[in-house]
Chain A
Amino acid sequence: MSVSLVLIVVMAALYACGVYLLLERSMTRVLLGFLLVGNATNILILIMSGRRGAAPIVDGQAAPVDFADPLPQAFVLTAIVITFGISAFMLALIYRSWRLAQVDTVVDDVEDLEIGRRGVPAEEEDSQSDGDDVAGGDTEFGDRAEAAVPTEALRRTAPGDTAGSRADPAGSSRTGRSRTDRTDQPDESENA
């Protein structure tokens, strides 16, 4: 079985980039990483399907020996559809997370931090918690990104009811200069 070297190089590059992105803190980059790794796996399936050949259509003229193997192509199609669905869900999740916390990063696990702080002397504790806050600024939307809805307003209202909190006048008045007009058009700041 001979395999195209180009495909192997492409697959390796996609896996490398994908794994790198998966380890990032920003959820948007994690999603991109997942897409790359998924496509790398699709190429792996393609590589494993053997030599290239004619379209596997039985028309009486082409000999079956010349056909490409149709089964891996069906696998790839199925895998693409599944990846597509999951990406859509992930995008919705990222948007939701960003609306809630104003950042799209993976949020610190409170318990992990707690365990990490154990054994650190008390005077060093403050400097360590500062470091965590700085890390939160690394988002796809930059440090300037502001949420369409103030987090406090969301927390006060019932979970799941974002439409109601968006119109909450008390919440929007607390948010200061540029946030007030964005409250009316929550989607605009996503593009910023």
Chain B
Amino acid sequence: MSFLVPLVVLVPLLGAAAALITGRRPRLQSILSIVALGIVVVISLVLLVVVDTQGAIAVQVGGWEAPYGITLVVDRLAALMLSISSIVLLAVFVFSVGQGQADGDGEAPVSIYNPTYLILATGVFNAFIAGDLFNLYVGFEILLVASYVLITLGGTEQRIRAGVVYIVVSLVSSVLFLASIAMIYGALGTVNIADIAQRMDTIPADVQTIIHVMLLTAFGIKAAIFPLSFWLPDSYPTAPAPVTAVFAGLLTKVGVYAIIRTETVLFVESNVNVYLLIIALLTMVVGILGAVAQADIKRLLSFTLVSHIGYMIFGIALGTVEGLAATIYYVVHHITVQTTLFLGAGLIERRGGTASITRLGGLLKAAPIIAVLFFIPALNLGGIPPFSGFIGKVALFEAGARLDDPLVYVLIGAGALTSLLTLYALMRAWNLAFWRPKADVDDHESPFTEHLEEAPGRVAVQQKRTNPRTMVGATAGMVLVSLVLTFAAGPLYGVAERAAGRVYGSNEYVQLVFPSGEGETRGDDSSPAPTPAGGPVDEGSTP
């Protein structure tokens, strides 16, 4: 099945080329793009099943052996990320096709949009399967360059303003990443992740710390963790709705994925877990306080996005298999739900003419379907019991409580508070936009809207437009996926647990890439997940 692995990158890349050629025939172009993304969905799901039953796959591109050639690795974690991201990419693409057909080419020039979107997909997939750091860097660059084009799409003044901030910040993080790759090469003479993991203990601890912090900073900017998250709520909301949705769902999660790899495979010895816990705490609290103050739904959602990255960093920083399993489940849940909410916000903006909750009202009667489609993921993100958000959060808190550490208990409290505030912000938005009678919008002073911050610049009230069935259908599909995550939580959480078990500790990853082995005992796939005996966890979480 290893021939499937490179196809994950090749298919969208070739699809992008085909879409570029057929730029003059929008219909054919859209069909080609949907087919390309659909193929990737199928491949990813097949890979997920194969990897989960038969063990992880490592491909040496071109037959060059591991430390010299380029290695692609698909383990359970990568396969899970591939599956959920390809599904999200497909759904958002269908949404944007619907929007393009309804609005014409003015808002999003289709001939550029489709190929760029597929290139973005290529970069995301490449980053997930990269087995060496330089390939990861290339994956990041591919997706970033595509995102530069998408965020400045149409070239209006506001988008250029927001785009410049986004681009400069991303450039700095890329340079930082490249510089840390150079340092790693200088220190260890390799960029292959498995090889780095093998040789890491041969270099002094302080050098390890320098490289570790550099890598974390570079990935932290991409994942938007607290002190490095300032750029996100400023730049994301200005882009077109589908672009914001896919950025929010996937781009930050690629950063989180890279952090997971860094913490679990590369730097098992070097330990910054206490600092990560504090950062996670600040990310959650500061992010959600920003969300509570926003009137613009898209900005509100951007702040909740930053805030919920904190949960994932929390899970990683716990440094246990349980914590990582909860994080993986939470990442999958959050990709789905955050994307759905942004798509819902796009529908609301079209239907109500604005995204500001101080101006919206009476939508429940006008658009009951959108009301439901926004309500379900809003409850889900807030962590209301039956949904996947609740399962993910409880799993995180349970994993944390097992460590029995005062700092972790503080984090659990902050996590619960963040969850409540998320629910408050989203339910207030829903109530004002859908439940409030239309007549109350202008003359009625509501205590809920008094202290809200409007989006910068003028509050654009556009013409109200109906939503084509394709867009509503795509959003409904995403809601359905999030419900599947809830109903299939058992098996899915099982996959996440096994993924975490195999990821933790670099042994399996190393043996996968170097099958001949360096004298280590070969891990048996049916053996129980290795517990983090002694090691990083206990040292790290004792303040």
A interface residue numbers (CB < 8 A to B): 22, 27, 30, 34, 37-38, 41, 44-45, 47-50, 71-72, 75, 78-79, 82, 85-86, 89-90, 93, 96-97, 100-101, 106-107, 109-111, 114, 155, 158-160
A51 to B170, CA, bound (A): 32
A147 to B453, CA, bound (A): 33
Interface-lining segment among B152-160, B221-229, B304-312 = B152-160
With a cutoff of 8 Å between Cβ atoms, the chain B residues found around residue A100 in the complex are 155-157, 160
**Residues 155-171 of B contacting A (Cβ, < 8 Å):** 155-157, 160-161, 163-165, 167-168, 171
- A29, chain B: closest CB distance, angstroms: 11
With a cutoff of 8 Å between Cβ atoms, the chain A residues found around residue B168 in the complex are 22, 30, 34, 106
Interface-lining segment among B173-181, B365-373, B474-482 = B173-181
B interface residue numbers (CB < 8 A to A): 106, 109, 134, 138, 141, 145, 148-149, 152, 154-157, 160-161, 163-165, 167-168, 171-172, 175, 178-179, 181-183, 185-186, 191, 234, 453, 455-457
With a cutoff of 8 Å between Cβ atoms, the chain B residues found around residue A90 in the complex are 167
**Is the Cβ of B185 less than 8 Å from the Cβ of A48?**
yes
Q: Could you give 22 example pairs across A and B, Cβ below 8 Å? A: A41-B175, A41-B182, A44-B179, A45-B178, A45-B181, A45-B185, A47-B182, A48-B183, A48-B185, A48-B186, A49-B186, A50-B186, A90-B167, A93-B167, A106-B161, A110-B456, A111-B234, A111-B455, A111-B456, A155-B157, A160-B106, A160-B155
A114 to B149, CA, bound (A): 29
- B69, chain A: closest CB distance, angstroms: 11
Extra A-B contacts (6), CB below 8 Å, given A44-B179, A155-B157: A82-B141, A82-B145, A93-B148, A107-B160, A107-B164, A109-B456
A158 to B178, CA, bound (A): 40
**Is the Cβ of A160 less than 8 Å from the Cβ of B109?**
yes
A90 to B148, CA, bound (A): 9
Nearest 7 CB-CB pairs, A to B?
A48-B186, A110-B456, A111-B456, A159-B156, A45-B182, A107-B161, A44-B182
With a cutoff of 8 Å between Cβ atoms, the chain A residues found around residue B155 in the complex are 96, 100, 159-160
- A165, chain B: closest CB distance, angstroms: 12
Q: Which of B156, B161, B185 contacts A72 (CB 8 A)?
A: B185
A44 to B175, CA, bound (A): 11
Least CB separation from A78: chain B residue: B138
Least CB separation from B144: chain A residue: A86
A34 to B167, CA, bound (A): 11
Given A30-B168, A79-B178, A106-B165, answer yes or no on A97-B186 (Cβ-Cβ < 8 Å): no
- A52, chain B: closest CB distance, angstroms: 15
- Is chain A's interface secondary structure helix, strand, loop, or mixed overall? helix
A179 to B183, CA, bound (A): 52
A107 to B235, CA, bound (A): 13
- A26, chain B: closest CB distance, angstroms: 11
A78 to B70, CA, bound (A): 14
A82 to B178, CA, bound (A): 11
With a cutoff of 8 Å between Cβ atoms, the chain A residues found around residue B157 in the complex are 100-101, 107, 155
A128 to B92, CA, bound (A): 44
Given A93-B160, A160-B109, A160-B154, answer yes or no on A41-B456 (Cβ-Cβ < 8 Å): no
**Is the Cβ of B172 less than 8 Å from the Cβ of A160?**
no
**Is the Cβ of B160 less than 8 Å from the Cβ of A97?**
yes
Least CB separation from B176: chain A residue: A41
Q: Which of A41, A96, A110 contacts B178 (CB 8 A)?
A: A41
A71 to B195, CA, bound (A): 15
- A152, chain B: closest CB distance, angstroms: 12
Least CB separation from B178: chain A residue: A41
**Is the Cβ of A114 less than 8 Å from the Cβ of B456?**
yes
**Is the Cβ of A34 less than 8 Å from the Cβ of B171?**
yes
A79 to B177, CA, bound (A): 12
With a cutoff of 8 Å between Cβ atoms, the chain A residues found around residue B182 in the complex are 41, 44-45, 47-48, 72, 75
With a cutoff of 8 Å between Cβ atoms, the chain A residues found around residue B160 in the complex are 93, 96-97, 100, 107
**Is the Cβ of A160 less than 8 Å from the Cβ of B156?**
yes
Given A78-B138, A93-B163, A160-B109, answer yes or no on A47-B145 (Cβ-Cβ < 8 Å): no
Q: Which of B171, B191, B457 contacts A86 (CB 8 A)?
A: B171
A78 to B191, CA, bound (A): 14
Least CB separation from B68: chain A residue: A71
A47 to B179, CA, bound (A): 11
**Is the Cβ of A106 less than 8 Å from the Cβ of B185?**
no
- B290, chain A: closest CB distance, angstroms: 11
A71 to B160, CA, bound (A): 37
Least CB separation from B138: chain A residue: A78
**Is the Cβ of A110 less than 8 Å from the Cβ of B183?**
no
**Is the Cβ of B109 less than 8 Å from the Cβ of A75?**
no
Q: Which of B156, B175, B456 contacts A38 (CB 8 A)?
A: B175
**Is the Cβ of B145 less than 8 Å from the Cβ of A106?**
no
Q: Which of B156, B161, B175, B185 contacts A49 (CB 8 A)?
A: B185
- B360, chain A: closest CB distance, angstroms: 20
A100 to B163, CA, bound (A): 14
With a cutoff of 8 Å between Cβ atoms, the chain A residues found around residue B134 in the complex are 75, 78
A80 to B156, CA, bound (A): 30
**Is the Cβ of B185 less than 8 Å from the Cβ of A93?**
no
**Is the Cβ of A85 less than 8 Å from the Cβ of B178?**
no
Least CB separation from B164: chain A residue: A106
With a cutoff of 8 Å between Cβ atoms, the chain B residues found around residue A75 in the complex are 134, 181-182, 185, 191
A101 to B171, CA, bound (A): 23
With a cutoff of 8 Å between Cβ atoms, the chain A residues found around residue B106 in the complex are 158-160
**Is the Cβ of B154 less than 8 Å from the Cβ of A27?**
no
**Is the Cβ of B152 less than 8 Å from the Cβ of A93?**
yes
- A139, chain B: closest CB distance, angstroms: 14
Given A100-B160, A111-B456, A160-B156, answer yes or no on A37-B175 (Cβ-Cβ < 8 Å): yes
A71 to B189, CA, bound (A): 10
**Is the Cβ of B179 less than 8 Å from the Cβ of A89?**
no
Least CB separation from B161: chain A residue: A107
- A132, chain B: closest CB distance, angstroms: 14
A45 to B152, CA, bound (A): 32
With a cutoff of 8 Å between Cβ atoms, the chain B residues found around residue A96 in the complex are 152, 155, 160
With a cutoff of 8 Å between Cβ atoms, the chain A residues found around residue B178 in the complex are 41, 45, 79
